[in-house]
Chains A and B, each alone.
Chain A
């Protein structure tokens, strides 16, 4: 607690000390009073008063001045032990001494008060500064109220304090011990701070309390503003997604539907005019476009599930080389050529994950890599592991991705230079993140992009020894 109210008993004690000090100094002066002049005495007493004023304050300095005046007159000026003076010129000296002692005493005491106040202000500022930086770190309203209460209880002589819901009318009566302060800004009132003092608080204490409450109100306003910004950012993001989704739906969904519709109506209306080969081709196109449509709808559903956080993982032990094998086989089936090279270490550990989802994640990334792979080379799917993580690397040897494009490449609906809706990579990213894993793009040495998916390694509780059956 740094606010101390000067007590009357303390002032009495200090004043007595001042008087005692004057008497103490008078004793040696009295012994050598014949050797010194009047000017010597007055200067010594003046110095003494000054010291008392600077050291003990206003009232003791007043006491010191008057006691000095008395001792000076009574013990040191002839005739001794009376309050009369022989020479009226000495009377002038005496009164001038009293006057100077009083003035210097007051000045010194004033300077002392100023210094004390400056000190108080400094520590008050310090506490307020610490309070505001503490508030800045907090993002929870309840914590702000708690910190406010704690600081007030620590620094002010209060019995109790409490934060009440905003009260419209504050009970007013001049010198009361309970203080109500609104916690709020011009726009918004958050509550009322109620502090219960043991006795009516001094002006400085009131001011300090008010400053604390203002800091709290500012902190609450900051939280409000931050939340507003976050909300509007989320709305903006949702808006952007909605717009791109609409674009995607209107273009990427309509195209296969148009093709299917045209082919089907051709088959229906031109039954006689078209050849068997043409009929077969149209039917094949219908099937192919239906597959494309199915994949796109699946991706859209997966994406919305990921964004809504509704993705449920069915985790089990999975073998990354098996997943990569499935992806490679599918690539062979759609190209009828080996477009992928697999490279997995002998002791590739099993990973706990949702196998179906990881298959989809790898498949999306691999399809993307295949799209940009030169016909003369193969996309590599590599496995790799250390103590912490198991990684899948998809290495492409096509064009290197520009740095600024890398930052956006996994955003949903990002359109690359080929104009396709970029849902695949966003889904892969979502799946990997749902597994507490990481996904990133590196440059392939010599050109191309390498996508890396890393999942945390999970300890296998009981491993069968594949070489020593049963």
Chain B
């Protein structure tokens, strides 16, 4: 797997490169937006780790927008805390996930794996699979959800929301994505729908965050993420 790292800080480029090579990836780097666009054509990476702030010239957001005109290469954006607006813009522009600096190498690895898994699996999502995490078991073929062997009764919409999240474990699903995939594109702005349904689903699944029993993770202001089963 080839990964392109785009960051204007040489130290960070170097450290990320070392870390990712250590985890078995082939890594190239680019220092600015223009270089990144050229590198994607020449190097044909399988995934981009792209910093939003790239000093002068075109920024990460614009790189993402331009790339999406001709390439579907997965993109993980890097941003700093408090830059929520930029994160949402990047995700709307077609980025697949984001990571807030500073992060640990483990977190980056998990994100990369989740995104690559989506790409690998997407052409043939098995409709007969069973998803298991902790006490939760979702049988996609039977449309059956059980927690600790007990069947949980979900309404059709609740089931659709849970399924959408659970079939993309570890991957960020924005409110927009959930709304337009479950309710339809006309509902993309009705974020309170998602909140109410997620709350219902969590109650029915018996989540207990105080004891760290959670299936659906919250990304404040952005979306939700199903726990990574891998």
Contact = CB atoms under 8 A, between A and B. Distances in A.
Contact of B209 (A291, A329, A470): A329
Interface stretch (B58-66, B80-88, B109-117, B136-144): B80-88
Contacts of A319: 195-196, 198-199
Given A287-B104, A326-B220, A467-B155, A318 B195 contact: yes
A317 B200 CA distance: 15
Given A287-B104, A329-B209, A350-B195, A314 B84 contact: yes
A466 B214 contact: no
Given A322-B199, A325-B207, A317 B192 contact: yes
A463 B214 CA distance: 26
Contacts of B202: 322, 325
A355 B219 CA distance: 9
A360 to B, nearest CB: 9
A321 B157 contact: no
Interface string A331-344: 11100001011100
Contact of B211 (A314, A332, A356, A359): A332
B210 A341 contact: yes
A326 B84 CA distance: 18
Contacts of A323: 218, 220
Given A460-B192, A469-B157, A322 B210 contact: no
B156 interface: yes
B196 A356 contact: no
Contacts of A340: 210
A432 interface: no
Given A319-B195, A466-B196, A325 B157 contact: no
A84 to B, nearest CB: 115
Contacts of B198: 319, 322
A256 to B, nearest CB: 13
Interface of B: 81-82, 84-85, 102, 104, 155-158, 190-193, 195-200, 202, 207, 209-212, 214, 218, 220-221
29 contacts: A287-B104, A294-B81, A294-B102, A305-B82, A312-B85, A314-B85, A314-B221, A317-B195, A321-B199, A322-B198, A322-B218, A323-B218, A325-B209, A326-B220, A328-B209, A332-B212, A342-B210, A350-B192, A350-B196, A462-B190, A464-B190, A464-B197, A466-B158, A466-B196, A466-B197, A466-B200, A469-B156, A469-B158, A470-B157
